[in-house]
Amino acid sequence: MGSDLPDHPVCVLDASSYVGFWILKGLLSRGYSVHAAIQNKKGGEATEIEKKIMEMAKEDDTKLVVFGVDVLDYQSILVALKSCSGVFCCLDFQDPYDEKMVDLEVRGAINVVEACAQTDSIAKIVFTSSLTAAIWRENICSEKDVDERSWSDQSFCRKFKLWYALAKTLSEQAAWALAMDRDLNMVSINPGLVLGPSVSQQNPRSTMAYLKGARVLLFYERPKCSRTEFWPT
């Protein structure tokens, strides 16, 4: 987004995810104005991260504006994106991932990218996916590189109920297909273990999902792989 601060704010959606929260903090520390889009939840109290964001907004409502969004409600996304120059899409859900959550995340990713296409001020999309979208498949140990051509195998993920990995795989694929069709400027980031200062007592779901998949792959592929392929020295 350049070294100079844009005239328009930057949107972080979902700002209440672990990655989203630290992107939000980083942008504010560098002087950016931010639209913090937080997914609406049915019932229940606000999470620790959501409470922190609300407190931050009260301290400086000129730089930080909070929006409630429903990723299945296209219009609510448009409201949060209005006048923004870019968006960090960090979709993550508090509920445990299952087949229904996979569908929800894919539909949400499509809605976010389409909303960006309909927002003239958006110049760039940074789509946060996961390393789990690229590495969970058979014979992974025989591959030397993991790059933009690498995708997790959908059948493998379904077989071992790696729903988080499947959600990230399908949602990133859908986002890329739509971004290319709409001629949008998009990049994706695929972190593995998400580590950093604690924000809440709950571990980042992306980290726990990565460890679950690693355990499955370890026991499934172990006869085919050497020790150093799992634990490099």
Q: What DSSP string runs through 171-228?
A: HHHHHHHHHHHTT--EEEE--SS---S-SSSSPPHHHHHHHHHHHHHHHHHGGGS-HH
H or E stretch covering 50: helix 48-59
| SS3 state at 114 | helix
Measured in residues, the chain has a length of 233
Question: How far is Cα 227 from Cα 116, in angstroms, rounded to an integer?
Answer: 45
Candidate list 41, 168, 212, 224, residue with the active-site label: 168
Among residues 108, 88, 87, 89, the alpha carbon closest in space to that of 167 is found at 108
- Integer Rg of the chain from CA: 18
| Residue at 38: amino acid letter | I
**124 among known catalytic residues:** no
Question: How far is Cα 40 from Cα 1, in angstroms, rounded to an integer?
Answer: 28
CA angle 165, 190, 77 (to 5 degrees): 85
Residues marked as catalytic: 168
